[in-house]
Amino acid sequence: MPIPTAPITQLPVNKLDKHIAKNAAWATDFEADQRGLLEKLAKGQQPQLLWFGCSDSRVPESIVLDSKTPGEIFVHRNIANTFSGADDSCHSVLEYGVGHLDIKHVVVVGHTACGGCAAAFKSDPPTSKIEKSSNPDSPLINFLQPLIKLRHSLPDRSTLDDLIVANVKRGVDEICQTEVIKKNWKATEDSDELPVQVHGWMYNLSTGRLQDLGMTRSA
């Protein structure tokens, strides 16, 4: 079945065709260098790492980790690397990654100068009215409410970096409270199978370096 395409009038061809051309060049070079790997990957994946990161374009996980081969990293990204108990999207990624792909390392990765955290840091405290009702005009404001609440739970002299680290820690804590992680830890108590480890990292935009924040949790 042919792949449907959008009418040419809807696409800024002069803006996008360079990306298609770059992809074609990459695919040709990759197949020449890693002959047969793409065909193998088409049959399944075995990633070793589950990355919960920020949507920020400056933190591309494959480049940051110098991963030159597809299939190594299972990824979920959103504003401010937020893991929420109410978000089916991030929970489904965790469930599939741990429960079906058997990934043993989950990382929550924050980064310096995070725009989502910066917006929350400058926001007024959430009111009961905002907490009890959604804002249909701004999904972003709704999404940031837990982060705004976290910001105002920190000590008065806290910095933006303090909020970024606290947000990573909250993500680690939230993941550790999920049924999929608790089930994994319970199942590995009396077996030789290694339990899932949940880590918190920080990426520094200015240096390109990742830092382990020392908040790894496991069974």
Q: Domain ranges in the chain? A: 45-212
Q: In which order are the strands placed within the sheet that holds 105-111?
A: 73-78, 49-54, 105-111, 197-203, 210-212
CB neighbours of residue 67 within 10 Å: 15
Concerning whether 56 is annotated as a catalytic residue, the answer is yes
Concerning whether 114 is annotated as a catalytic residue, the answer is yes
Name which of 6-15, 79-88, 156-165, 181-190 the model is least confident about. 6-15
pTM for the complete prediction?
0.89
User: Is residue 8's pLDDT more than 80?
Assistant: no
Q: Which residues are annotated as a binding site for Zn(2+)?
A: 54, 56, 111, 114
Concerning whether 77 is annotated as a catalytic residue, the answer is no
Exactly one of 17, 58, 209, 212 is catalytic; name it.
58
166-190 pLDDT, tens digit per residue, is 999 999 999 999 999 999 999 999 8
pLDDT at position 132 is: 45
The three-state secondary structure class of 15 is helix
192-212 pLDDT, tens digit per residue, is 999 999 999 999 999 999 999
Look up the CATH number of domain 45-212: 3.40.1050.10
Give the residue from 199, 197, 201, 200 showing the smallest Cα distance to 219. 197
pLDDT at position 135 is: 62
**Element of type H or E holding 208:** none
Concerning whether 58 is annotated as a catalytic residue, the answer is yes
Concerning whether 137 is annotated as a catalytic residue, the answer is no
Exactly one of 111, 151, 170, 199 is catalytic; name it.
111
pLDDT at position 120 is: 97
The span from the CA of 14 to the CA of 3, in Å, is 21
